């Protein structure tokens, strides 16, 4: 009966079907906490530890933590690091002048499609760290290494690191309670900045629409750090809650809301593309010369039901498609991100094909929720 | 895992209960609700609709997935559980109390073709 969004990795006889699934340094911890493990991009990851919806509310109202060690940190070191990023990413790393400053960007192919979206942390013009998605990590590394050749950049995949995202209105305070010395190191940290804490990096970034930290720590200290956070009242949350939180926050997911066939200008990511600077980057000429015919907007379902990826959307301007859809625990309604024809606008009523019905939805401008507050009117 | 001994089961995780009035009550198993996670929407069939065994006739949607529900035996839909549709989480709380629909079977003996609790347990 199941058409799951996340495909369970065990079959009916509990036999492992994918022999080579990778495990993070926190794998044993997830088992101990009764996490329901599923395959995600080749990794054994917790979908939830009991209730996805409760974990979602925990992050919106207090503090939750996610093991995101499946994502890959890559260090770029050497004299050519700045020039490499100038060429490889659509946002402009010249915006990064203060050590620790972070920048969100897409990395494009020559056709202007998105190879991956990533966060770049700046430390010096000869030292950056980027964090890329799990499912694209191998492809990204090959692409970056290919372009790093001969310009004096060492590319180091940091699989020796674990990453824990602590998110929620109380995330910072609870992190400080859990990790002695962390408050002194990070109390002054502004959003989208990071700071070294011994051999760990504390970044005030995340993927939930809430305040909080992303911690990059040596793998051998992952479990102790996780347990200290548990002791300080941070509750574990799985990939299920991570998905509903990011969707409420209007944050795009690679592979769903954009991919190698999608222009960032049609995926709601125009704000991350710097076409102005006299700088050439891969994909720029294509983006600059092409008309934008589609746009990413939010949908709020008026009728009862649940919006899902790939459902067809009928607008006055033509057909569109949902790229991510779910039931929003904060709104108690179904929401989606959809790629709609240019001209469709917030406030329009559209119809979504769900099985044999056409259900009414309102076009809205994401985000739906930020910092615990509902931002859509009429809810 | 809660698998009541007095019910019949389909391999696709529906349970069925034949009552003295000849009607069959249908829901999803405890295993199914747990696998689905937080249930947020039920699409129930029209009363009066005639269904064949194995036909899709309802949808249970959780936060993460939509799942088709199949008629375990052929018959006519005679009632749906509107209270469950209004509070879909009730299926998570007690999958055997929060039934989905009732049907009048074409042939009550068809229920003998479904799994008993022990046989259903062995499929999990």
When the candidates are 3.30.70.660, 3.20.20.140, 1.20.1530.20, 2.40.30.110, the CATH number that belongs to A293-379 is 2.40.30.110
pLDDT at A149: 87
Nearest to A305 among B37, B41, B65 (CB): B41
Token digits for B108? 């009550």
Q: How many angstroms separate the CA atoms of A125 and A276, rounded?
A: 21
How many beta-carbon pairs under 8 angstroms link A with B? Answer: 60
Interacting residues of A302 by C-beta distance below 8 A, sequence separation 6+: A349, A359, A360, A361, A362
Q: How many angstroms separate the CA atoms of A322 and A262, rounded?
A: 14
Which residues in A have their CB inside 8 Å of a CB on B? 1-6, 8, 12, 47-48, 51-53, 240, 243-244, 304-306, 308, 326-327, 329, 334, 355
Q: Which of A8-22, A88-102, A308-322 shows the lowest per-residue confidence on average (mean pLDDT)?
A: A8-22
* B1 has a pLDDT exceeding 90: no
CB B88 within 8 A of CB B82: no
* A7 has a pLDDT exceeding 80: no
Q: What's the mean pLDDT when you consider all of chain B?
A: 96
Q: How far is B109 from chain A (nearest CA, A)?
A: 24
Q: What's the mean pLDDT when you consider all of chain A?
A: 94
pLDDT tens digit string along A221-260? 999 999 999 999 999 999 999 999 999 999 999 999 999 9
Q: How far is B36 from chain A (nearest CA, A)?
A: 8
Query: What's the count of helices (H) and strands (E) in chain A, helices before strands?
Result: 9, 22
pLDDT tens digit string along A63-112? 999 999 999 999 999 999 999 999 999 999 999 999 999 999 999 999 99
Token digits for A68? 């995101």
- Using alpha carbons, list the distances in angstroms from residue A39 to A18, A345, B39: 9, 37, 21
Mean of pLDDT values over A341-356 = 96
pLDDT at A20: 72
By C-alpha distance, the chain B residue nearest A55 is B38
Asked if B37 is an interface residue toward chain A (Cβ–Cβ < 8 A), one would say: yes
Q: How many angstroms separate the CA atoms of A314 and A205, rounded?
A: 36
A27-66+161-247, CATH topology level: Gyrase A; domain 2 (3.30.1360)
pLDDT tens digit string along A287-307? 998 899 999 999 999 999 999
A203: β partners: A194, A214
Q: Counting Cβ atoms within 10 Å, is residue A320 exposed (0-12), middle (13-18) or buried (19+)?
A: buried
**Partner-chain contact A2 B124, CB within 8 Å:** no
pLDDT at A5: 40
* Domains detected in chain B: 8-106 (2.40.50.100)
**Partner-chain contact B63 A244, CB within 8 Å:** yes
ipTM of the complex: 0.88
Query: What's the count of helices (H) and strands (E) in chain B, helices before strands?
Result: 4, 9
* A18 has a pLDDT exceeding 80: no
pLDDT at A86: 96
The residues spanned by each domain of chain A are 27-66+161-247, 293-379
Of A167, A180, A172, the residue nearest A228 (C-alpha): A180
Q: How far is B64 from chain A (nearest CA, A)?
A: 6
pLDDT tens digit string along A199-220? 999 999 999 999 999 999 999 9
By C-alpha distance, the chain B residue nearest A52 is B38
The SS3 assignment for A177 reads: helix
Q: How many angstroms separate the CA atoms of A171 and B114, rounded?
A: 51
Q: What percentage of chain A has pLDDT greater than the value 90? A: 91
pLDDT at A16: 45
**Partner-chain contact B68 A244, CB within 8 Å:** no
Mean of pLDDT values over A303-322 = 97
pTM reported for the whole predicted model: 0.93
Parallel, antiparallel or unpaired: strands A194-197 and A200-203: antiparallel
Domains A27-66+161-247 and A293-379 fall in the same CATH topology: no
Nearest to B66 among A6, A243, A308 (CB): A308
Phi, psi dihedral angles at A243 (to 5 degrees): -70, -45
pLDDT at A19: 53
* A15 has a pLDDT exceeding 70: no
| Test mutation, A1, A14, A35, A36, chain B, max B CBs within 10 A | A1
Q: How many angstroms separate the CA atoms of A354 and B19, rounded?
A: 34
**Partner-chain contact B37 A47, CB within 8 Å:** yes
Q: Which of A6-15, A189-198, A346-355 shows the lowest per-residue confidence on average (mean pLDDT)?
A: A6-15
Mean of pLDDT values over B43-69 = 96
A103: β partners: A120
**Partner-chain contact B41 A304, CB within 8 Å:** yes
Phi, psi dihedral angles at A284 (to 5 degrees): -60, -50
Q: How many angstroms separate the CA atoms of B45 and B76, rounded?
A: 10
By C-alpha distance, the chain A residue nearest B37 is A51
**Partner-chain contact B64 A5, CB within 8 Å:** yes
């Amino acid at each position: 009966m199941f058409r799951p969004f996340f495909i369970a990795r065990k079959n009916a006889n509990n036999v492992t079907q994918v022999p080579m699934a990778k495990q993070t340094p926190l794998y044993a911890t997830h088992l101990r906490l009764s996490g329901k493990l599923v395959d995600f991009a080749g990794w054994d990851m917790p979908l939830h530890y009991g209730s996805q919806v409760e974990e979602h509310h925990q992050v919106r109202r207090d503090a939750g933590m996610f093991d995101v060690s499946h994502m890959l940190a890559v260090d770029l070191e050497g004299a050519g690091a700045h020039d490499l990023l100038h060429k490889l990413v659509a946002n402009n790393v010249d915006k990064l002048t203060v050590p620790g400053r972070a920048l969100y960007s897409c990395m494009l192919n020559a056709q202007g499609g998105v190879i991956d979206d990533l966060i770049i942390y700046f430390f010096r013009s000869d030292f950056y760290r980027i964090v890329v998605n799990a499912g694209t990590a191998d492809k990204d590394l090959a692409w970056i290494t290919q372009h790093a050749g001969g310009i004096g950049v060492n590319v180091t995949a940091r699989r020796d690191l674990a990453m824990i995202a602590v998110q929620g209105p109380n995330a910072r305070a609870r992190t400080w309670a859990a990790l002695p010395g962390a408050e002194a190191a990070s109390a002054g940290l502004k959003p989208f900045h990071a700071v070294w804490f011994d051999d760990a990096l504390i970044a005030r970034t995340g993927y939930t629409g809430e305040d909080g930290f992303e911690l990059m720590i040596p793998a051998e200290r992952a479990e102790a750090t996780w347990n200290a956070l548990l002791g300080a009242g941070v509750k574990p949350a799985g990939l299920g809650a991570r998905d509903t939180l990011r969707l409420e926050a209007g944050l795009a997911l690679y592979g769903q809301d954009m991919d190698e066939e999608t222009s960032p200008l049609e995926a709601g990511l125009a704000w991350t593309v710097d076409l102005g600077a006299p700088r050439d980057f891969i994909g720029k000429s294509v983006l600059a010369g092409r008309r934008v015919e589609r746009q990413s907007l939010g949908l709020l379902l008026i009728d009862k039901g649940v919006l899902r990826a790939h459902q067809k959307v009928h607008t006055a301007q033509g057909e569109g498609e949902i790229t991510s859809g779910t039931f929003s625990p904060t709104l108690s309604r179904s929401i989606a991100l959809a790629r709609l024809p240019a001209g469709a606008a917030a406030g329009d009523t559209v119809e979504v094909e769900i099985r044999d019905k056409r259900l009414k939805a309102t076009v809205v401008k994401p985000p739906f929720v930020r910092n615990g507050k509902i931002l859509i009117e009429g809810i | 895992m809660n698998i009541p001994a007095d019910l019949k089961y389909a391999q696709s995780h529906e349970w069925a209960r034949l009552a003295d009035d000849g009607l069959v009550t249908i829901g999803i198993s405890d295993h199914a609700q747990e696998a689905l996670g937080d249930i947020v929407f039920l699409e129930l069939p029209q009363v009066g609709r005639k269904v064949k065994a194995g036909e899709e006739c309802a949808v249970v949607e959780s936060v993460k997935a939509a799942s088709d529900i199949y008629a375990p035996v052929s018959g006519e839909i005679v009632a749906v559980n509107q209270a469950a549709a209004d509070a879909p989480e009730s299926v998570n709380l007690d999958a055997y109390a929060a039934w989905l629909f009732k049907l009048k079977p074409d042939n009550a003996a068809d229920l003998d073709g479904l799994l008993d609790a022990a046989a259903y347990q062995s499929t999990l």
